[in-house]
Structure 1
Amino acid sequence: MNPIITLVAVLVLAAITLGIVLALKLEHPWLQPWAIARAVVQLGILSVILNGVISDGRWVAVFLAVMVIAATWVIFRRLQLKSRYLPFIVGTVAVSSVVPLTVVFVVGAIDFSPRYLLAVGGIIIGNAMTVSTLMGRTLGSTYLAQRDEMEAWLSLGATPRRSALRAVRFAASTALIPSTDQTRTTGIVTLPGAFVGAVFAGASPLEAAQFQVIVLAAILAAGSLTVASFTWIFGAPALLPLDEQPLGGSRATVHAAR
């Protein structure tokens, strides 16, 4: 592929995105073009680094650890969490990623090599980050929408966790929708990157399909672990929001504990 043509295509697509976002007056209109610019720079750096990393298991482990830290920071900033939640978020991303990876490599579904560890691990960590952000944001807004119902449960003597049960289930289900839909429509609506990449790398369509199914199953397992962790951490709120805010925001709240 010609890098100049690639850059031109990216710039045109970024301009289209910015124009639509500005026309609709969405929040933070420069966020999407900035994300594209960051992706260009980061992928450029990544392609250089991987030449010396992809064959060394130790460096792959370091790289995956950096991914976990970066994902944690994105979740932390996006949800406006307090610093005391950082260890929980790190643990959520790490455990949600390690468990599916362990299953995949222990049973021998994918050869245990630095190359595959980095590829599959990066995909799973990224999806765990997305599920965390979706559940956190949905849970914050749902607590506000269902505050009256939750207060009614509390007035009847229910625990905070019981009063929040419906809100938590809705947030968890919503957070899993993208991964679930991607899995359900694979091969019909979408051709996922892992499948296409494997085919381009020389694998047969059958081998690529096997690899993709494993990746999709691992993504769903990681997402399930992620929402379970968020349910445990944030599923029994001691405070209920008085206005719209991301989970963990610092604006006015009312005590939920009774």
Structure 2
Amino acid sequence: MDHPMNLPLVLAVCVGMSLSAVAVLASMRVSLRWEPIIAILRAGMQLALLALVLQFIVTDVLWVLAFLVLMVVVASITAARRIDPQALRHDRSLWLAILFSISLGLSAAVLCAFATGAVTFGTQYLLALGGIVTGNVMSICTLTGKHLREQLQVHRGEVEGWLALGATAPVATVRFRRASVKLALIPGMDSAKTTGLVTLPGAFVGAVFAGASPVDAGLFQLIVLAGLQLGGAITATTLARCLASRTS
């Protein structure tokens, strides 16, 4: 940027917007309490740490891979807690299913981008693509898992009826799995469809600001969007299958 941002002013505005979000939610008695302000405070601390860490790891592929592994673990823990607050204490199989699903979706997106040569391998591209995909598939896991578990509870009688007739768990839950995957993927697909018109993609803007040509930035953003579609589809369907196999 040509003009450095005013740190105290930025922090004050961020806190003010977060407090306003809390007030708006409280006016409708939405049970999120102080989560908006907690989220922005955590984000600020983590971004500060990230800025320090990136100065040392961005040139070493092993450190970048280690950082991506950490991101995947934290993402899986976050999604597991959102789906079931007691998952890490009483149901670690849920966390393992999410960890596996995120890892599979992320690996597919990254391998397709770099193994084909569509994106020249570099630590900065690996970190950017991996980080964006991980964040998105984490949200997809949360939506898939929560909706599927809710639907299985509501329609428990139907599922038990199919099981009593000799159907396997995947067959008994197939329509709920399909609906959950669809629900989880729609926001990302809508975002991709409106890229450049409604949404201004971060990877594109960041690349342009970093000095890349608009064409190269657009191509990288396109790879990111395709990776999100592939990674999201694999993550959502894998998690849905894993949760279905746990149905008894």
Work out whether residues 75 and 129 of structure 1, in 8 Å CA contact, stay in contact via their aligned partners in 2. yes
Q: SS at the partner of 1:235?
A: helix
**Partners of 1:231 and 1:73 in 2: CA distance:** 17
Alignment equivalent of 1:39, drawn from 43, 63, 66: 43
Question: What runs of 5+ residues in structure 1 fail to find an aligned partner?
Answer: 240-258
Q: Name which of 191, 194, 199 aligns with 1:190.
A: 199
Q: Which moved more, 1:196-205 or 1:81-90?
A: 81-90
Deviation at 1:237, TM superposition (A): 4.7
1:101 alignment counterpart: 110
Match of 1:5?
9
- Cα distance in 1 for partners of 2:75, 2:7 equals 28
Give % identity.
36
Matches within 5 A, 1:179-258: 179-239=188-248
Residue 225 (structure 1) shift:
0.8
Please give the residue correspondences for 1:30-179 in structure 2 after superposition, counting only pairs within 5 Å. Answer: 30-80=34-84, 81=87, 82-179=91-188
Amino acid of the residue matched to residue 183 of structure 1? A
Distance 1:160 1:92 in 2: 19
Deviations 1:11-59 (A, max 9, x none): 2211211111111111231112100110011001111111111111111
Q: Output the TM-score relative to the length of structure 2.
A: 0.91
Aligned AA (1:127): N
Give the aligned length.
Answer: 239
Shift of 1:108: 1.5
User: Does 181-190 or 159-168 show the bigger shift?
Assistant: 159-168
The CA distance in 2 between the partners of 1:21 and 1:122, in whole Å, is 29
For residue 89 of structure 1, report the CA deviation from its aligned partner.
2.5
Select between 89-98 and 151-160 the one with higher mean Cα deviation: 151-160
Give runs of ≥4 in structure 1 deviating > 4 Å: none
CA contact (8 A) 2:208 2:217 kept: yes
1:28 maps to which of 11, 29, 32: 32
Q: Which of 14, 19, 28 does residue 15 from structure 1 map onto?
A: 19
Q: Deviation per CA, 1:231-253: give whole Å up to 9, x if none.
A: 221124534xxxxxxxxxxxxxx
- 150-159 or 99-108, which deviates more: 150-159
Q: Is the 8 A contact 2:170 2:245 kept in 1?
A: yes
Q: Which residue type is aligned with residue 93 of structure 1? A: I
Aligned AA (2:30):
L
Q: For residue 231 of structure 2, what is the amino acid of its counterpart?
A: A
Query: Is the Cα–Cα contact under 8 Å of residues 148 and 240 in structure 2 kept in the other structure?
Result: no
Distance 1:238 1:52 in 2: 45
* 1:157 Cα deviation from its structure 2 partner: 3.7
Question: Does the aligned pair in 1 maintain the 2:145–2:240 contact within 8 Å?
Answer: no
Normalised to the residue count of structure 1, the TM-score between the two structures is 0.87
Deviation at 1:156, TM superposition (A): 4.1
